[in-house]
């Protein structure tokens, strides 16, 4: 064990000694003791304990693979623990199914909401516990009015009658919260709820969390973002490698202490310093327009430069990048790469020209789940490792090994299925795949979204390495520290237009937020 | 950190033993099943263990299995082609019309194969060009192609194919080894190499596992799917030549139900009906098993309708087995 001190006191991490006077002494609603869960070859959770208190938000912190998701699945009845007990209000409960978890008052809101697009908002809220009339049929009228009441109480501004698919992801989260309220849950688990939200939507979510707190719910909040943990959480619990390594009160614990607990070592939060030698223009995009998504997009990226694209979710940044990558067809506009006009009609065309794209949706667009690492890496450059179209395994493995090792990929072998890798390592596979094609321009769309701090730093460091080797990088990101820490210049987009392109010198985060949100110099009303 | 995933070490190519995984594969199970049916057949009928009987047995599957080879690739990409039997009907009918117009044997073959490719290209255009689902398109062309054959022929039939043409369906290369069997084995070898040892095959699997990510990885998904539908058309055209030559006549009901048997062979061969995995060896073994079963039942004078009940049940069992196996393993875990 590498607990910093007092190895004997393993029941409760080393922050327990600090005062508890800040919060009222209450009995926990949910208590987990000695929970263990193993999968073939993996010990996901080992002797884990957790307490959740009414009216308080507890942050669950840990790198990817620390066991957070397994814990959530144990609490929502999807996995059965091998050992340990779960108590709700002092009563031992078993949660063999998702329904039994709901009945015990535990509900979860996920990063990507697990709701039903084709059903109405009201149906989504009351799915599984719809009000019945005296014939035992669903009482549609009550359901609709009750759902609307809940939504109005949250000031959500959503009509309960419309189909869910008409809502954006932020509003869908609100529906998920409404669902949590309607089942009268005592414990609400929020698994990276802000990962897909814009800054404004995140603020709205914070208000809701406050609402749930006032209601006396116990909230388990899983997040990679420290600013929000410090903003809304009361307590924290840190997991590492399936074990609980520390817990305490957020207000009394500095950020770097928590980071130290997470990674078992101290990590500088500082972005790599780069001595960038920026050369001539590599890619010039002029007047790119799409019928609905974006209009008159012009920018250039130079050799050895990281060009940041900042904006709110839905500003059209990904759409522009997918057009440059040939996946979206444009109505007008031109692209010049190394002095040659290109008009990619498919990703294959773009890759041939030397433009590659690391998509935001890693699981759907990035990796081919179900195939091993080496096949994922070699797919775009298979023509290079083969002889006249015939596969040569040795060359293919060598190519995969070269690029995955450059990225410090953590896996058991090159034949390991990519679906069994953590998010950060999957991202490394996607980047390795593109580096093997020897591109000129690499577009990274939210490259560190939902990946742990360790991998995040690795990706940032690697981006610095790429530009120092003369590549051009375009980075789409919604995280301000990342934009400010990595970019040479920043393009700000709003509602499908480029608002401004700024040199990253003494650039203030507030400036970017204002531009992206369309707020004038004076404060928004 | 003292675990095995420390940094800076060389990643091995693979961890599991390839010999062990080959022994535990679906294909080795198929070999056992084929052997069991072979032994059962030789006990059930005294006429079975005879070189000419066994030679006749191969005619039970060669034409369908030729189609199944191409069908396997289509199913691995996550698509399906249900129009193959109707392509045979249309190709055979067009050969009949060519015969009446005075075509010689090479011309007849060219017509059969050419019509097959055109039909496949038509399917491929509707599926990749107009982005229609393949199951709907090929159910439509299944009726369309055979419908044309019925319009041309009504209750008539074409007869009188030249003697040298009939060699394609009835001829022997040497001893009891028929031309059909040799052609099938050659095609199986080609498909094996293409699927398992070429870039094209690698892309086929990538599409089946995740077509979106494949497209984002620079795979020309639509082009490959188009080629594959042309390929099933081509193989159906070849099957039309063989079948027409073997029967010596064309009726509009020719090759009825072939599509289901071809799909059964593919699925029995271990190709996932959801796409993304499968082997040509599995499909060849499945074809052999289907041939052995139908021939064995034929020797025992089991009526055709019972055989189709058997094949239908086989299809369901084969699809259900891997799912049941997975459920059993999960329960154990």
Kindly report the length of chain A.
Answer: 525
A30-263 and A282-354+440-519 agree in CATH topology: yes
Measured between its terminal Cα atoms, the distance across chain A in Å is: 53
CB atoms within 10 A of CB B67: 31
Which candidate from A40, A366, A383 shows the least CB-CB separation from B199?
A: A383
- Annotate B74-94 with b (16+ C-beta within 10 A) or e (fewer): bbbbbbbbbbbbbbbbbbbbb
The residue of chain A nearest to residue B207, with distances taken between CA atoms, is A368
* A431 shares contact with chain B (CB less than 8 Å): no
Domain boundaries along the sequence of chain A: 30-263, 282-354+440-519, 367-438
Instruction: Indicate yes or no: CB of B11 within 8 angstroms of CB of A365.
Output: no
Please give the residue that has the higher pLDDT: either B60 or B68: B68
Cβ–Cβ < 8 Å for A458, B7: no
Annotate B32-95 with DSSP letters as a single string.
HHHHHHHHHHHHH-TTSSSHHHHHHHHHTTHHHHHHHHHHHHHHHTT-----HHHHHHHHHHHH
Phi/psi for B332 (5° steps) reads -70, -35
Quick check: A219 and A212 in contact, CB under 8 A?
A: yes
Residues of chain B positioned with their CB less than 8 A from the CB of A360: none
What topology is assigned to A30-263 in CATH? Rossmann fold (3.40.50)
**Interchain proximity A348–B218, CB inside 8 Å:** yes
Domains and CATH numbers, chain B: 52-323 (1.10.3470)
For β-strands B158-159 and A235-240, DSSP reports them as: unpaired
A346 shares contact with chain B (CB less than 8 Å): yes
**Residues in A touching B2 (Cβ below 8 Å):** none
Q: Which residues pair with A336 in a beta bridge?
A: A284, A341
**CA-based nearest residue in chain B for residue A354:** B218
Which of A369, A415, A416 is opposite residue B209, by nearest beta carbon?
A369
Lookup: tokens for A323: 């057009």
The token pair that represents A512 in the structure block: 């970017």
Nearest neighbour of A371 by CB, restricted to B16, B206, B219: B206
Chain B nearest-CA residue for A366: B213
Walk along chain A (525 residues) and give the pLDDT tens digit of each residue.
Answer: 344 444 334 444 444 434 444 445 578 899 999 999 887 656 788 899 999 999 999 999 887 667 888 899 899 888 889 999 999 988 888 888 888 888 888 888 876 667 888 899 998 888 877 888 888 888 888 888 988 988 887 777 888 888 888 887 778 878 887 887 787 788 999 888 877 677 777 888 888 888 888 888 899 999 877 788 888 999 999 988 788 888 899 888 887 788 778 766 544 456 776 666 788 999 999 999 998 889 999 999 999 999 999 987 778 899 999 999 999 999 999 999 999 999 999 999 999 999 999 998 888 899 998 899 999 999 999 988 989 899 999 999 999 999 998 888 888 889 999 988 887 888 899 999 999 999 999 999 998 876 777 778 888 888 888 898 889 999 999 877 788 889 999 999 988 899 999 998 888 777 887 788 776 554 433
B-chain residues near A433 (CB < 8 A): 217
Across the interface, whether the CB atoms of A370 and B198 are under 8 A apart is answered no
Q: Using the Cα atoms of residue B69, residue B71, residue B76 and residue B77 in order, give the sign of their dihedral.
A: positive
Give the predicted TM-score (pTM) of the model. Answer: 0.75
Q: How far is CA A8 from CA A13, A35, B123, in A?
A: 10, 20, 71
How many beta-carbon contacts under 8 Å exist across A and B?
114
Q: Does CATH place domain A282-354+440-519 in 3.40.190.10? A: no
């Amino acid at each position: 064990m590498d607990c910093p001190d007092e190895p004997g006191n393993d029941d409760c991490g080393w922050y327990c000694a600090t005062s508890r006077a800040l919060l009222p002494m209450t009995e926990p609603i949910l208590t987990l003791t000695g929970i263990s869960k193993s999968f073939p070859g993996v010990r996901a959770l080992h002797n884990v304990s957790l307490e959740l208190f009414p009216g308080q938000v507890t942050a669950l912190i840990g790198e990817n693979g620390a066991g957070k998701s397994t814990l959530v699945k144990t609490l929502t009845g999807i996995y059965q623990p091998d050992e340990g007990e779960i108590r709700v209000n002092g009563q031992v409960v078993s949660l063999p199914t998702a329904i039994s978890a709901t009945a015990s008052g535990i509900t979860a809101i996920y990063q990507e909401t697990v709701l039903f697009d084709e059903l109405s908002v009201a149906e989504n809220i009351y799915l599984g516990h719809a009000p019945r009339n005296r014939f035992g049929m669903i009482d549609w009228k009550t359901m609709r009015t009750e759902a609307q009441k809940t939504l109005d109480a949250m000031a959500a501004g959503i009509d309960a009658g419309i189909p869910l698919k008409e809502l954006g992801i932020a509003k869908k989260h609100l529906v998920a919260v409404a669902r949590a309220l309607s089942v009268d849950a005592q414990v609400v688990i929020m698994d990276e709820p802000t990962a897909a939200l814009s800054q404004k939507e995140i603020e709205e979510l914070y208000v809701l969390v406050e609402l749930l707190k006032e209601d006396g719910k116990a909230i388990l909040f899983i997040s990679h973002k420290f600013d929000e943990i410090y903003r809304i959480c009361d307590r924290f619990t840190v997991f590492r490698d399936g074990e609980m390594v520390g817990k305490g009160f957020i207000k009394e614990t500095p950020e770097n202490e928590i980071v130290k607990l997470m990674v078992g070592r101290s990590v500088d939060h500082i972005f790599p310093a780069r001595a960038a030698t920026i050369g001539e223009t590599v890619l010039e995009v002029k007047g790119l327009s799409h019928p609905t998504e974006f209009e008159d997009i012009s920018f250039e990226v130079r050799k050895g430069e990281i060009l940041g694209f900042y904006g709110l979710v839905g500003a059209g940044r990904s759409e522009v990048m997918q057009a440059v990558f040939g996946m979206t067809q444009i109505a007008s506009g031109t692209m010049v790469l190394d002095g040659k006009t290109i008009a990619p009609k498919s990703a294959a065309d773009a890759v041939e020209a030397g433009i590659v794209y690391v998509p935001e949706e890693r699981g759907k667009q990035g990796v081919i789940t179900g195939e091993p690492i080496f096949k994922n890496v070699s797919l775009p450059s298979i023509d290079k490792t083969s002889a006249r179209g015939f596969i040569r395994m040795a060359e293919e493995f060598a190519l995969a090994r070269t690029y995955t090792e450059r990225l410090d990929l953590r896996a058991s072998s090159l034949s390991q299925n990519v679906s069994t890798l953590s998010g950060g390592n999957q991202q490394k596979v996607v980047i390795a795949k593109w580096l093997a094609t020897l591109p000129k321009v690499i577009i990274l769309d939210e490259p560190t979204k939902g990946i742990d701090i360790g991998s995040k730093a690795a990706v940032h460091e690697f981006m610095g390495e790429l530009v120092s080797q003369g590549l051009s990088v375009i980075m789409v990101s919604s995280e301000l520290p990342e934009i400010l820490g990595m970019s040479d210049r920043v393009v700000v987009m709003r509602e499908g237009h480029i608002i401004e392109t700024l040199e990253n010198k003494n650039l203030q985060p507030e400036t970017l937020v204002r531009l992206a949100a369309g707020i004038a110099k004076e404060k928004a009303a | 950190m003292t675990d095995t995933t420390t940094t800076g070490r060389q990643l091995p190519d693979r961890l599991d033993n390839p010999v062990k995984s080959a022994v535990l594969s679906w294909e080795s199970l198929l070999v056992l099943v084929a052997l069991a049916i072979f032994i059962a057949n030789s006990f059930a009928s005294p006429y079975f263990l005879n070189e000419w009987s066994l030679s006749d047995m191969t005619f039970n599957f060669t034409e369908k299995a030729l189609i199944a080879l191409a069908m396997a690739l289509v199913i691995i990409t996550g698509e399906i082609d249900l129009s193959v039997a109707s392509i045979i009907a249309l190709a055979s009918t067009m050969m009949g019309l060519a015969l009446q117009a005075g075509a010689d044997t090479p011309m007849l073959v060219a017509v059969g194969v050419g019509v097959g490719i055109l039909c496949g290209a038509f399917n491929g255009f509707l599926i990749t060009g107009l982005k229609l689902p393949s199951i709907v398109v090929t159910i439509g062309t299944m009726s369309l192609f055979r419908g044309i054959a019925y319009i041309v022929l009504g209750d008539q039939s074409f007869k009188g194919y030249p003697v040298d043409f009939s060699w394609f369906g009835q001829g022997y290369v040497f001893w009891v080894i028929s031309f059909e069997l040799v052609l099938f084995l050659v095609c199986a070898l080609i498909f094996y190499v293409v699927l398992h040892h070429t870039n094209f095959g690698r892309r086929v699997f990538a599409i089946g596992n995740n077509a979106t990510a494949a497209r984002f990885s620079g795979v020309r998904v639509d082009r490959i799917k188009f080629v594959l539908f042309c390929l099933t058309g081509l193989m159906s055209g070849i099957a039309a030549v063989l079948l027409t030559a073997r029967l010596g006549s064309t009726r509009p009901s020719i090759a009825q139900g072939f599509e289901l048997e071809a799909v059964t062979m593919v699925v029995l061969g271990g190709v996932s009906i959801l796409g993304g995995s499968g082997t040509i060896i599995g499909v060849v073994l499945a074809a052999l098993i289907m041939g052995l079963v139908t021939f064995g039942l034929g020797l025992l004078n089991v009526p055709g309708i019972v055989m189709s009940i058997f094949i239908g049940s086989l299809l369901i069992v084969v699809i259900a087995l891997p799912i049941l196996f997975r459920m059993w393993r999960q329960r154990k875990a």
